[in-house]
Amino acid sequence: MTENPKTTANEKGIYTDFKNNMTYGEYLKLDQILSGQERLSDHHDEMLFIIIHQVSELWMKLILHETNAAIESIQSEDFQSSFKRLARVSKIQSQIIQAWDVLSTLTPAEYMEFRESLGQASGFQSYQYRKIEFALGYKTPHILKIYEKDPILHKELSDAFHSPGLYDVAIEALAKAGFSINVDLLNRDYSKPYEEDESVKEAWMAVYRNVDKHWDLYQLAEKLVDIEDWLQQWRFRHMKTVERIIGFKVGTGGSSGVNYLKKVLDQRFFPELWDLRTEL
């Protein structure tokens, strides 16, 4: 909306002299951010493609910032702080999902005009997305090979790969609350994918059957369900957007494209929290 010059003129306190003061653009480093959209083709719609993915990466950075803080809060039994952070993650996820609606305005004919310019670059290689998967407990060792080109990044990802995820610290919280949790889970190798465990299922069942007694754990469980729910919705919109634009072609990164994206929809992060809904 355009400002009324008369209204602006009446605001005597507005700062206009920034010779010695930091501006909005400087604070946000907009010169760096807005100079990062370099098209490799002359096609108009490549700008859309670049910006959608850059914005998604910024949102993912915030998801990681909040999720890692939530993990620390749960470990220190500061549940209220973790609830705030996890609720924010869910809101961020809704923003990323909506980005697919914008990208889906790109037609197959338009995308083919610049697809070759991407080479083997693909969203499959997003290291922030991998960090999110690691934080949620989904870990596959072959993924790390993609990042060997950058030793610093590779170490960063390797550290995240071997660290406890959100569900690991939630299970530890169950144990701290007095629930009988399989001791092997509490001392497990965090680089291995989590496998369903009966002791965890029984503990969550007890939480859901005694909500008033275990309110914090119940709240935590529902926040985890929110996050997995939104992530799966993001994955579904991703898959349908890809199908809409390139059909069943192989992805630029070498994956099977839509077929691969359909497979990952079957991945589960917090299995017991979904299974108990049938048995309650």
Spatial contact of 189 and 216, defined as CB atoms under 8 Å apart: no
Ligand-binding annotation for 52, yes or no, is yes
Ligand-binding annotation for 53, yes or no, is yes
Residue 75: count of CB within 10 angstroms of its CB = 15
Please give the Cα distance from 111 to 42 (Å, whole number). Answer: 12
Q: What share of the chain is helix, strand, coil (3-state, %, to 5)?
A: 65, 0, 35
Q: For the CA atoms of the chain, what is the radius of gyration?
A: 22
**109 is written with which tokens?**
């004919």
Ligand-binding annotation for 132, yes or no, is no
Residue 244: count of CB within 10 angstroms of its CB = 15
Please give the Cα distance from 77 to 71 (Å, whole number). Answer: 10
Place of tokens 């997305």: 129
Residue 108: partners with Cβ closer than 8 Å, 6 or more residues away: 244, 245, 246, 247
Phi, psi of 212 (to 5 degrees): -60, -40
Ligand-binding annotation for 83, yes or no, is no
Ligand-binding annotation for 235, yes or no, is no
Ligand-binding annotation for 15, yes or no, is no
Please give the Cα distance from 206 to 213 (Å, whole number). Answer: 10
Ligand-binding annotation for 7, yes or no, is no
Ligand-binding annotation for 134, yes or no, is no
Please give the Cα distance from 80 to 94 (Å, whole number). Answer: 22
3-state secondary structure of 34: coil
Using a 10 angstrom Cβ sphere, with 0-12 exposed, 13-18 middle and 19 or more buried, the burial of residue 32 is exposed
Ligand-binding annotation for 16, yes or no, is no
Pick out the residues of the known binding site.
49-53, 111, 115, 238, 252
Pick out the residues of the known binding site for heme.
238
Pick out the residues of the known binding site for substrate.
49-53, 111, 115, 252
